[in-house]
Amino acid sequence: MARKGSSKVRTGCLTCKVRKIKCDETKPHCKRCVSTGRKCDGYPPPPSSLTLSWHRPRQLFPNVDDVGERRALQFFCQAAGPSLSGPMDPYFWTHLVMQFSTFEPAVRHSVVAISSLYEQIHSKPKSVRLLTDNRLALSHYNSAIRELKSINNEPLVLLVCILFVCLEFLLGNRDTAIEHCKHGVVILENVETSYPWTKKYLSPIFRRLTLFPFFFAIDESSFPKLLGLNDQLPESFESLEQAQFYIDGITTRTVSLVRGGDRYRLEDKRDVPVSPELLEEQEKIKVQLDGWHARFLDLKNSPAASDWSEEIACNILLRHDISTIWVNTAFEYEETIYDEHVDRFRLMVSRATGLQASKFPGPTAQDSPKFIFEMGFMPLFYYVVLKCRCLTTRMQALSLMKKLGTPRESLWEASTMFAVGRRVIEIEHGFLFDEKGEPSTPPRYPDFPPDEARVRDTTTGPAPTIQVDSRGQEVGGRTTGFFRRKHDGSIYLQTEFLVER
């Protein structure tokens, strides 16, 4: 893989690499695989750069004669596929997608388009107008759309739907990605119970996909139908994958509740009682979160945890922590309510700092991913930056956004989120950062800022723009709005142009 793990993980056997577990590197076959009854797939050749030559053995893709297409498929195998999953299990991209690409044209064309765009983003991270600049991606995306129209197999349509969402993520097309997601959820409801492989491999991805529209959709009409509303937690979790499956459903359900509570938090509705339906949903989610955590701790203390991926475990535990804070603050008018959760914020930062020290001990490699399909660590710590008012902890979270995050995670862009998070800290604590990222003056509020100094919410422009700074130089950034509250309780929008570095 391009980035993950220590050198041992990168040079371990293929089986451990896919499962993101530590390999004992006993050649020719890993003893960890043998002891757990898995077949060891052997060891990969020495890692190569993300830049590939144009000539590859034709027998790798015997049905593909076009040189550019064959090269894109090879690049997907070596670089894009293993990286797209971020901290999640890459099996869908490294095995399932590649398997279908050998006999389903719609899948193969989608993979070629994704691979071509992924490589373009990696070589030109700030490239815009990607599709119009990339004829190979445009041609194969259009071919995939044509092939999809003739497919009568709904599970296959679902798989291609995920690939189309990935393409729209790469292109930055929010509305189209949301439409693909909504369409896929409707199909999934009809076929999930009839096709076990769909439930095993596709349903978990759609559970996570249903999260992003709640952050990027313009209005409620664009929200997808929720998955996991009827989930009944099992008596115990048998694997980390099962624990992840259920926390994904609970997290999306929690975010939906938070969106329903926007009017209570962001408007002066202190005298308006919260609807009974929302309060009932809040209690149900609290019960689910508590039940999930108890089962997770039992699993963590069982022998099944011996081959866990630390990265995946940390990520899903952070989702539980944030969901717990969300559900307890969904209808609260005062921002000081978040101060009651400062210990949980600190624990989240401490846990991730330990992961960063063990998994990413040095600077980010030059060939590390510039894009991942999943939501990784960056949006999670962006939330900590916004809502944890302990200055030391939120500064650590701001640093973790860079250290553990990826420049682009689905539709989240690190440059934008880092600039907004940094500015929120400046506004609330009353100081400006210097060029080294340190306070240039003593903070006005070195501890917890008063409620009237806090930012309620933020909004950013849909696309970056260019402006001329005070030195007459052109700089790129976005217009950003900060929702703040006056002493009389009314909300006003403070608008600024933030430079994105």
Q: What is the 3-state secondary structure (H, E, C) of 284-296?
A: HHHHHHHHHHHHH
The 8-class DSSP code of residue 409 comes to E
Give the β-pairing of 465-468 and 457-460. Answer: unpaired
Give Cβ neighbours of residue 486 (< 8 Å, ≥ 6 apart).
452, 492
111-128 pLDDT, tens digit each:
999 999 999 888 765 544
Q: E strands, 71-189, where?
A: none
User: Which pLDDT belongs to residue 40?
Assistant: 67
CB atoms within 10 A of CB 250: 24
Helices and strands (H and E) in the chain: how many:
23, 7
- Take residue 118 and report the two structure tokens written for it: 């992924």
Asked whether the beta carbons of 330 and 257 are under 8 A apart, the reply is: yes
pLDDT in tens, the chain (501 residues): 333 333 333 346 655 655 556 666 665 567 666 555 555 666 554 433 333 333 333 444 556 657 788 889 999 999 999 999 998 989 999 999 999 998 999 999 999 999 999 998 887 655 444 555 788 899 999 999 999 999 989 999 999 999 999 999 999 899 999 999 999 998 998 888 888 889 899 999 999 999 888 888 777 777 877 877 788 999 999 999 999 999 999 999 999 999 998 888 877 667 788 999 999 999 999 999 999 999 999 999 999 888 888 899 999 999 999 999 999 999 998 899 999 999 999 999 999 998 876 655 444 455 688 899 999 999 999 999 999 999 999 999 999 999 999 999 999 999 999 999 999 999 999 999 988 888 899 999 999 999 999 999 998 877 778 887 777 787 888 899 999 988 887 888 999 999 887
Nearest by Cα to 317 from 10, 87, 93: 87
Nearest by Cα to 307 from 3, 15, 11, 4: 15
Q: What is the pTM of this model?
A: 0.83
SS (H, E, C) 331-400: CCCCHHHHHHHHHHHHHHHHHHHHHHHHHCCCCCCCCCCCEECCCCCHHHHHHHHHHCCCHHHHHHHHHH
Q: How far apart are CA 429 and CA 46, in angstroms?
A: 49
The 8-class DSSP code of residue 463 comes to S
375-415 pLDDT, tens digit each:
999 999 999 999 999 999 999 999 999 999 999 999 999 99
The neighbouring-strand residues paired with 372 are 409
312 HSE (CA, 13 A, CB side): 23
Asked whether the beta carbons of 266 and 456 are under 8 A apart, the reply is: yes
Domains of the chain listed by start with CATH number: 228-329 (1.20.58), 334-454 (no CATH)
Q: How far apart are CA 433 and CA 365, in angstroms?
A: 27
- Percentages helix, strand, coil for the chain, rounded to the nearest 5? 55, 5, 35
Nearest by Cα to 292 from 230, 250, 352, 345: 250
Q: How far apart are CA 224 and CA 292, in angstroms?
A: 24
Nearest 10 degrees: CA dihedral of 367, 370, 375, 376?
Answer: 40
